[in-house]
Structure 1
Amino acid sequence: MEKCFDIDSIKKDLKNNTEKIVLETMEEVLSKPEYKDVCKCHQCLLDIASYALNRLPAKYIASSKGDLHTKIAEFENQVNVDALSTVAKAIKVVSKNPHHDREKI
């Protein structure tokens, strides 16, 4: 008999789709030639992602649902433009105020 409340299973099946979109957008934007001089160390990438994610709405999806792909497509269409502008702003902010001394990298 399956447990009535299995928190580990819920954690595994609950996904914040905004996180996926932000990380994909970061990868796309940071690969452009105009961003070649932006620091891409682990800390700066975390700061860029955190900045963007804290400014965009979280959208959780239950990954065990059959209509997951439909939900993701609808959501991504609504958020992609916001993610692009928010990630670009995050890159600018983090680049001006890195949490490290650029000369040591």
Structure 2
Amino acid sequence: MLDEKKIRQLKSRLNNHTEEIVLQTLKELLKREEFSHISDSEAALLDVATYALNRLPPKYIATEKGEVYTKTEELEQQHSVDILSVVTKAIKVVSEDESKK
């Protein structure tokens, strides 16, 4: 039977690999001079991450085999370009919104 305890256990094993990639991409982009003015507050960073993640397909993994498959897929040029593009746009949208406040 699928009870609350089992659901919590299953949930703890699921990992959206796209989250990791988005956060790593964000970290790298914020090192660039062009983004030096961007706020590093938790609220702003969460806004950027959620903006990007809501526009990218999730890549859930639960096993080592799934992780290897997902990391192999990551190497595909288009996937990397898509993530870079979406995270860059997220930074710009959030920073524009922050400047209006």
Residue aligned with 1:31, SS: coil
Contact preservation (8 Å) 1:17, 1:59: yes
Per the alignment, in what secondary structure is the counterpart of residue 45 of structure 2?
A: helix
Distance 1:19 1:81 in 2: 16
Query: How does the TM-score come out when normalised to structure 1?
Result: 0.80
CA distance in 1, matches of 2:27, 2:81: 15
Q: What is the root-mean-square deviation of aligned Cα atoms in Å?
A: 1.9
Q: Deviations over 1:17-38 (max 9, x none)?
A: 1111000000000111221111
Q: Which residue of 2 aligns with 1:20?
A: 20
Q: Which amino acid aligns with 1:70?
A: V
- Rg bigger for which structure? 1
Where does the alignment leave 5 or more consecutive residues of structure 1 unmatched? Answer: none
Task: Return 90-99 or 48-57, whichever deviates more.
Answer: 90-99
Ranges of 4+ aligned residues in structure 1 off by more than 3 Å: none
Identity of paired residues, percent?
Answer: 43
Provide TM-score, normalisation by structure 2.
Answer: 0.83
